[in-house]
Amino acid sequence: MKSILPWLIVAIFLFLALYFYWQKNEAESRLIIADNRAAEVNREQEREETETSDGMLLPPDTMEMTPPGGAAFVDELGSLSESDVQRLQRKGLRNPETDLMNDLNRKQRQLIPTEGTMGGTMAIRDSRILNDRYAMAYYEDGHNGGYMLLKYEVSNGNITWKVVDHSKL
């Protein structure tokens, strides 16, 4: 009986060593499979994040954001006529279009009807002065965006803005 007991203990330790070695290999192979799946999902997510619907790459969240297709305004849209310029000058603006755009950029935080998401800050990326009463603006935070139709009034060189309508993209 004395000679069997040490052999039995050695056999149990050998069995346990083989069992734990097999469990370790099994866990490592599951981890490799999970890592490969995670890497594949990350590659797919990065590919989706870097492409817009028209295939253009988006720069990081800066003031030089490229509006999505259809958000860029036509160049002719937003040019003040001579009569609009004269009317606004009589109301106290020296350079009406520049004064209006600068004032709109200064007051954009109060005017944009939506908060930024995922750490982004909503900002006006493109705007046009349509005539002597209305302006249009595209805003976004790098993740979400929208359009605003603004009405403005000029009195003694002071400009007040009101959001008439807005829509999210």
Tens of pLDDT, residues 88-99: 999 998 898 889
Identify the CA nearest to 165 among candidates 120, 134, 140: 134
Give, as one character, the DSSP assignment of residue 141: -
Backbone angles phi, psi at 152, to 5 degrees: -130, 155
* pLDDT at position 63: 46
CB 99 within 8 A of CB 106: no
> d(Cα 130, Cα 73) in Å, to the nearest integer?
11
> d(Cα 147, Cα 127) in Å, to the nearest integer?
9
Tens of pLDDT, residues 79-88: 788 888 889 9
Tens of pLDDT, residues 19-46: 999 999 999 989 899 888 888 888 888 8
> Within the chain, which residues score under 70 in pLDDT?
1, 50-78
Per DSSP, the residues of 129-146 read: E-SSSEEEEEEE-SS-EE
Give, as one character, the DSSP assignment of residue 23: H
